[in-house]
Amino acid sequence: MSEGAKTSANGGGFRFKVRGPRDFYGGLALIALAIIAIWASGDLPGTHGFAFGPGTAPRLFAGLLAIVGALVALGGLLFDGPPLDSYAIRGPAWVILAILAFAGMIRGFNLGFVSIPPLGLVPSTFAAFMISIFGSSEMRWIESLIAAAVMTAFCVGLFVYLLQLPFQLWPWY
């Protein structure tokens, strides 16, 4: 059906074709998530007498998720489905980079090996806008710079002056 991946069974050399790779790998990811959750909540006390402990519900739902995930994966193995969709790199990369830039610049950060001081709302907003612009192939420099400036001014006006949120505006104040 698809050009999707194949898994080989042990022993006899049978090759199963994954018929619905979207469901198959989606299901596998859910199982992985469930295993992580069970592992992460493993140190929490469980049911004590009649009372649930903090660990009971997470393990309960993680167990259910593992079962449902397995069923989804099994469905993907047995039934025809659409092939895996290709992932775009450019859009997601620049969008995420823009968001991270905003998060890093607004209050500054210190990771030990690299640190930047708090830069405030104005540089952060402007930078996030300009970085995210690169996510589209249709970008134009002059237009983008003007739009970034307008948007920054609008945000400062709306959030700081109109809604009175306590934001630091500039690196020095």
Partner 1 sequence: MSELLANLALGFSVAAHPYNIGFCLLGALVGTLVGVLPGIGTVATVAMLLPITFGLPPVGALIMLAGIYYGAQYGGSTTSVLVNIPGEATSVVTCLDGHQMARQGRAGAALSIAAIGSFFAGCVSTVLVAALGVPLTSIALLFGPAEYFSLMVLGLIFAVVLAKGSVLKAIAMILTGLLLSMVGSDLETGAGRMTFDIAELSDGIGFTNVAMGVFGFAEIIRNLEMSQESRDIVKAKIKGLMPTRQDLIDSSGAIARGTILGSLLGILPGGGAVVASFAAYTFEKRISRTPERFGRGAIEGVAAPESANNAAAQTSFIPLLTLGIPPNAVMALMVGAMTIHGIVPGPQVMTKQPELFWGMIASMWLGNLMLVIINLPLVGVWVSLLRVPYRLLYPSIIVFCCIGIYSINNSPTDVVIAAIFGLVGYWLTKHEFEPAPLVLAFVLGPLMEENLRRAMLIARGDATVFATRPISAGLLAVALFLLVLAALPMIRKRRDEVFVE
Q: Which is nearer to partner 1, 12 or 112 (CB)?
A: 112
Q: Which residue has the tokens 């104040």?
A: 173
Residue ranges in the chain assigned as alpha helix (H): 21-40, 56-78, 90-107, 121-133, 141-155
Q: Which is nearer to partner 1, 9 or 163 (CB)?
A: 163
Closest approach, Cβ 13 to partner 1, in A, equals 30
Closest approach, Cβ 50 to partner 1, in A, equals 4
Question: Which residues, including other chains, have CB under 8 Å from residue 151's CB and lie 6 or more apart?
Answer: 125, 129
Q: Which is nearer to partner 1, 7 or 96 (CB)?
A: 96
Tell me which residue of 1, 45, 48 sits closest to 23, measured CA to CA: 1
Partners of residue 6 on adjacent β-strands: 17
Closest approach, Cβ 40 to partner 1, in A, equals 4
> CA 86, CA 92: separation in Å to the nearest integer?
13
Four-residue CA torsion sign, 152, 154, 158, 160: positive
Main-chain phi, psi angles of 133, to 5 degrees: -55, -35
Q: Which is nearer to partner 1, 10 or 164 (CB)?
A: 164
Q: Which is nearer to partner 1, 9 or 28 (CB)?
A: 28
Closest approach, Cβ 102 to partner 1, in A, equals 4
Closest approach, Cβ 16 to partner 1, in A, equals 19
- Cβ of 109: how many Cβ atoms within 10 Å? 13
